A = this chain, B = another copy of it.
């Protein structure tokens, strides 16, 4: 690591998150919803309850949580082709939506949820880096609301939500480890990792990637530590959003 670090474009400290705003209940129709803002990254997350399970789960008396992800064409600096018009979701989209679904399922007791499906939709209204971490973090709020709506439909005593998850990125930018990269940093990062943690200290998902050349174990450990602390701030923001 260099002795004389470069200032981040946003002026943030290396281990500082962007301003985080989680606005729940933004949708007139969805059982749960949250507009998650990580700085200029805005992701609209909704949770829809469907009283049927996917075909492969039928008769097993358990539920499912799944997620879909999309970007509005002009959420990005230059316009991105609309996936519906191209007729195909990109590999990146599929990767992200699989990540969101897995992350949420790690804190859901699918048996307690009962034979129903909760479908999460994460739509990026504006993208300035870190859309998948904002999506996971906001989706948990939407999911919590949707499960709250179930009420009597759950079996007595059932508590499908077993924990709290949040996600944040860390990376190496100009030779320094930084937390919660924005687009200006992400474009030139040497490494990039997304961490999904549970509030009780568990690891839900780690995806770390060298962008140009391999990175060191020490750098990874710092990324991990930054992310761990960043996640704590996100857990607090989730609780605040839900008025707890």
A50 within 8 A of B: yes
* CB pair A73 B87 closer than 8 Å: no
Chain B residues, Cβ within 8 Å of A87: 87-88
**A: interface residue count bin:** 35 or more
* CB pair B203 A106 closer than 8 Å: no
Of the candidates B44, B90, B106, B197, the one whose C-beta lies within 8 Å of that of A125 is B44
Of the candidates B97, B204, B207, the one whose C-beta lies within 8 Å of that of A207 is B207
Binds B, one of A3-11, A27-35, A149-157, A232-240: A27-35
Of the candidates B76, B84, B207, B220, the one whose C-beta lies within 8 Å of that of A29 is B76
One complex includes copies of this chain to the number of 6
Rounded to whole Å, the gap between the CB of A89 and the closest CB of chain B is 5
* CB pair B106 A210 closer than 8 Å: yes
Chain B residues, Cβ within 8 Å of A121: 72-74, 79, 82
Q: Mark A198-235, 1 if CB is under 8 A from B, else 0.
A: 10111111111110111111001000000000000000
4 interchain residue pairs of minimum CB distance: A202-B214, A91-B94, A83-B84, A46-B74
Chain A residues proximal to chain B, CB less than 8 Å: 27-30, 33, 40, 44, 46, 48, 50, 68, 70, 72-79, 82-95, 97-98, 102, 106-107, 119, 121, 123, 125-126, 128, 162-163, 191, 193, 197-198, 200-210, 212-217, 220
Q: Can you report 20 residue pairs joining A to B where beta carbons are below 8 Å apart?
A: A29-B76, A33-B74, A46-B72, A48-B78, A72-B123, A73-B123, A74-B121, A84-B86, A84-B89, A102-B209, A102-B210, A106-B210, A106-B214, A107-B213, A107-B214, A201-B214, A202-B210, A203-B217, A204-B209, A207-B207
